[in-house]
Amino acid sequence: MVILLKHHQERPNSLPYEYFIYLALGAAAGGFINGLAGFGTALLALGFWLQIMSPIAAVSTSLIMSVVSGPQGAWLVRKTILKQPKRMARFLIPGIIGMPIGVSVLAIIEPHYLKITVGCIMVLYGGFFSLKQSIPKINYPTPIIDGIVGFIGGMLGGAAALSGTLPTMWCAMRSWTKIEIRAVLQPYNIVVLALAALLLASRGHYTWDILKQIMMALPITMLFSQIGIFFFKRLTDDQFRRLLVTLMLLSGVILLTKEAL
């Protein structure tokens, strides 16, 4: 079936119905996790989309889904973003600077090994704090560390499309409310992933076929993002922090599995 789907992936009008099922499931899963956690569209969507698209088409599509659906979650925490713009800027500005540097790093470091290294860190982090009854809460200002985390996150975004990994780990350990955490992570991911999408567009990766797939998937992503936001509103601050830790563990396992195959 996978061979059949891939054989037809350049001809959307003649695709079998299974193709649209995979496309819809990926859009729904990616939209839901983005609405729930403020990141992670690719985490769930690529598991479906890589069955029917080439890797570059799947990544290109997930970037657009993240960037377009992300403002729904950002609007939810807009007051906190406006109230604490400097906190968000401490992550975002270094992240923007780090993105093109990360792209340049690709000429030196093999992305495969970089992803394996980051995946191991994610599994160790997620596994360690998943076993602990409580996650540490850093309750003092750390502007320099915030900037370093944002910068390295931007580099990882440019080098391996993993921009949200380090900021998510760090924010989960802060004594911030779920609204404050999201007010940092959501704008950060939107901007960094938008830059990544622009980079792919400049290289001609957004073909007409991919754009048609995006238009089919986007309404589903937007709808399930709202469902994710519905559940986000019902999480306590500690439950949300625990969710981020669990997603880091899951993301690491999926990343390592994919790179090992």
What integer pLDDT is reported at residue 205 of this predicted model? 84
Q: Are 56 and 63 in contact (CB under 8 A)?
A: no
Task: Name the residue with tokens 């495969």.
Answer: 112
Domain ranges of the chain: 2-260
pTM, whole model, 2 decimals? 0.84
Concatenate the DSSP letters of all residues of 170-239 into one string.
HHHTBS--HHHHHHHHHHHHHHHHHHHHHHHHHTT---HHHHHHHHHHHHHHHHHHHHHHHHHTTS-HHH
How far is the C-alpha of 178 from the C-alpha of 77, rounded, in Å? 10
- Bridge partners of 174, per DSSP, are 138
Over the stretch 49-105, which tens digit does the pLDDT of each residue have? 888 888 888 888 988 999 999 999 999 999 999 999 999 999 999 999 998 888 788
Q: What is the mean pLDDT of residues 230-257?
A: 92
Least confident of 6-20, 62-76, 123-137, 146-160: 6-20
pLDDT higher than 90, residue 167: yes
pLDDT higher than 60, residue 11: no
Confidence of residue 9 (pLDDT cuts 50, 70, 90): very low
Over the stretch 92-113, which tens digit does the pLDDT of each residue have? 999 999 988 887 887 787 778 8
What integer pLDDT is reported at residue 13 of this predicted model? 52
Confidence of residue 214 (pLDDT cuts 50, 70, 90): very high
